A and B are shown apart, each in its own frame.
Chain A
Amino acid sequence: MRYAMAVDTKKCVGCSDCVVACQTENHVPIGYCRDWVVEVTDGTYPQLEIELRSERCNHCNNSPCVRCCPTGASHYSEGGIVLVTPNECIGCGACIASCPYDARYPHPDGYVDKCTFCIHRIKKGLKPACVAVCPTRCMYFGDLDDPKSEVSEVLKRRKHKTLIPEAGTSPQLYFLI
């Protein structure tokens, strides 16, 4: 099993609903976030293009954050989901420094927090909160090892990219372009 997510930049409107929903679902304190929206504008008026992307932890196959964690708090869980066990985390911040995507933040309670792909929801057969709320339905989630999963299907059908592939982390968050 290999969980992955795809975000359709052609449909995302950058509304940040994914951010608000993640914050409430996961009790992320106000002022912090596990996901965020990036807008890239290209060109000059009136020859313009914008790309909107909802970003979060890439649940990399080859995660520097897991590798550099001195306590083992950062670890791979089922389906390749990268997690932090709060009570094993000493808050040293090595993982924050090692992540090329800036996907982690120091939780005010003294541990490092990040996107969990809403593993608590997945276990109940639900989709991650951001995927479930997105008004444009531009996010797809599922198991890449299952060729029939939503995410496998859409990646087959559509052109896509990952962010900073040259970092060699093998990110599992795909952007449909």
Chain B
Amino acid sequence: MTSRRDFIKIAGVSLGGMTAGGKAAYQAMANTLEKNSLDPTLLNRTPTYCEVCFWKCAGWVYKKPDGDIWKITGNPDDYNCNGRFCPRGTGGVGMYYDEDRLQTPLIREGKRGSQYYRKATWDEALDKVAEGMKKIAQEHGPECVALFNHGSGGTYFGHLMKAFGSPNIAAPSYAQCRGPREVAFLATFGEGVESPERTDIRDTRCLVLIGSHLGENMHNGQVQEMSDAIDKGATIITVDPRFSTAAGKSKFWLPIKPATDLALLLSWIHVIINEGWYDKDYVDKNTFGFDLLREHVQNMTPEWAYGITTIAPHIIRETAREMANASPAVIIHPGRHVTWYGDDSQRLRAVAILNAILGSWGRRGGYYNPDTLKLPEYPHPPFPTPQRTWREAFPGKYPLAGLALASGLCDATIPALTRNCSIKGWIVDGTNLIETLPNQKNTIEAIQNLDLLVVVDTMPMEITGWADVILPECTYLERYDTVRTGPHRQPQLALRMPAVAPRYDTKPASWMAKELAKRLGLEAYFAWESIEELIDWQLKQVGSSLAEMQRIGVKTFPRKYDDLYFNPAESYEFNTSTGKIELYSNEFANAGFDPIPNYTPHEEPPPGFYRLNYGRGPAHTFSRTSNNPNLTDIMDENVLWINPKVAQEWGIKPGQEIWLKNQDGVVSQFPIKARVTERIRWDSVYMVHGFGHDDKRLTRCYGKGASDTRMITKVHIDPVMGGTGMRGNFVTFLFEPETMEAKS
């Protein structure tokens, strides 16, 4: 045990400078590891946390008598899932059994995109990747290699990139998804919403969902808590042009005209201030800029908003009243995928402000204060300082972007006169960029300019078809991974360990990154012998161990402070320029943006066109699950929701296959079946994201349904943080694919 204490000291002092003491400590640890760690093949159930979506529910994997995987169920101790996985997590077995999986490393022969690959050994493949990375580093600098990642493997590749000297690490979950919400909440409260969201839905009395379709998106803990809230009689208010599942559970459904949500939000703020329904004590004590806000919204009456949103003034007042009655146990939900129209940071600022004046931040039934247990990093030498970052590709733009933009890195790959270096190499781990980034043409142009494209995935997603080298990852059921930390009401750790040995010639990302590090002369950054050793070391720093976690799967720790909710008797300082909740944002003002949000109208569909809205189906996650045998059994294609009046006008019958054409003349590659339903407004259509795959190696989902991403060619960039607004695209219908040229 003394060696461990010493080791902590070394790690702390030299920030990972490798010393002889460190080496000895590793050895001591490697020895104890043996007796501490369990052989997974001997256990009848092994812990994991789910990798089908970002919610990362912890569960147990059970095996059949033949030793293969039987089922996955939730771990009752886990706060993210409370013992219940969502359908995708339950169907996660299909990721393991999918016979279309990538089975061996592949190296491309022939032109990029030509899809001629030869099987390679791991040595060959990794050598090639390392060579490519070195060449780029020599010719252009290590910053010209970028990492796109989504999921747990990103930890290891991210670490590799930092050791290599590149800060260009981006997850599409920022600029293509929840970035605006984080920026807006940071500017207002000095803290982001984080994931899992800090919404205290369990105890709320009023939940307001704006375009957020909980129950169709199975963000597990939130869906569970929404159900608890229904049981307890909470009021749900849903704002959505579509009669979503959540709308079906709501006391109020506001069938808003698409793209006008900000006007509704401002009018709610107007009513709540003018009627004196705001939380006066809370506002006085904690906020900055209330008078400016009051003045700002004076003209933003429900009558004003009616003309914009089509929501009747009395409904706006009545719903505002509901929120105020529930205050502070009210949640105006920030949503998750919020990159819609390009002014999303401002819309989310309005959401934050509304929550603030109702006093729900840091209050029971509103937003709780989460706590996270951070695990110390395994000691490593300091990272080199990069010479350039992605920001320099966009001088003066997106000042409030807190994280790298996946779309930005993609754009920075296309050579421009204004840049002295474009990005030359991509490592893409677990994200199908072709279906994730809007404007596919742009993505492909960027790819064509690369010297190196490496894809790490479990499935032959479209992006793998463009790769120079494909590194097949084993699924989360076949590997150890970084220990799950993540915020919640109380900090928890969750372990993922292999239930079975990897099928085929596949490997974990942790192993790949370490092997690449060896080839790049960066092994000092991956000083652990095995991932078991790394995890055991990390866990021991916080008083657990690999052996303990293998037994229990999830461990709960006490909170650092007893402040799940604010104590009204105390004063708090917020991490903003004024130390207050900023209703008027100095950060936005200083960066040249509206310090209090304003409504600006968005473009409307031309005659004969309909706004394309997209969302989630409960059985799928992005395009990642579309070939999963268990989940395609539940839903194997997406359909296009069309209002019956629109369908009648066009003569479209239920179930009829139609092609879509967007405002830029882009036609869907495959037809999509019409779902003629009253559940959608006449000015928009809707489809579930993640279908219409055009890679034939995906045998179950090839050509099933249509890809929304393909139709999203017009992107409205959020000037505040670079988010890619994707809901300003309009489609019309074609009855035969042939007519596309003739008509356009």
Contacts and interface: CB of A to CB of B under 8 A. Distances in A.
B171 to A, nearest CB: 25
Contacts of A134: 84
A141 B671 CA distance: 43
Nearest to A51: B248
A19 B681 CA distance: 30
B731 interface: no
12 contacts: A10-B249, A14-B618, A17-B84, A17-B85, A23-B630, A24-B70, A43-B678, A45-B643, A45-B680, A48-B243, A133-B74, A135-B218
A133 B214 CA distance: 17
A50 interface: yes
Interface string B228-260: 101100000000000101111100010100000
Contacts of A136: 215, 223-224, 226-227
A30 B84 contact: no
Given A24-B71, A41-B678, A45-B681, A135 B245 contact: no
Contacts, number: 123
Given A45-B243, A45-B680, A20 B631 contact: yes
A95 to B, nearest CB: 24
B678 A133 contact: no
B736 to A, nearest CB: 29
Nearest to A23: B630
A52 B86 contact: no
Most buried by A among B224, B228, B618: B618
B677 interface: yes
Given A13-B216, A135-B224, 5 more contacts: A19-B87, A20-B87, A23-B630, A23-B633, A133-B74
Interface of A: 10-11, 13-17, 19-21, 23-25, 30-31, 33, 41, 43-46, 48-50, 52, 132-138
Contacts of B243: 41, 45-46, 48, 50
Contact of A137 (B227, B631, B634, B678): B227
Given A15-B87, A52-B245, A134-B84, A31 B230 contact: no
Contact of B223 (A25, A33, A50, A135): A135
Contacts of B72: 24
Contacts of A135: 81, 84-86, 218, 220, 223-224, 227
Nearest to B247: A48
Given A24-B93, A138-B227, A50 B84 contact: no
A133 B86 CA distance: 8
B331 to A, nearest CB: 18
A45 B677 CA distance: 9
Interface string B413-429: 00000000000000000
Interface in B549-608: none
Contacts of B680: 45
B629 interface: yes
A49 B248 CA distance: 6
Nearest to B619: A16
A44 B678 contact: yes
B460 interface: no
A96 to B, nearest CB: 20
B176 interface: no
Contact of A30 (B74, B618, B629, B635): B629
A17 B90 contact: yes
Contacts of A137: 84, 224, 227-228
A133 B227 contact: no
A45 B255 contact: yes
A111 to B, nearest CB: 21
A172 B393 CA distance: 65
A46 B255 contact: yes
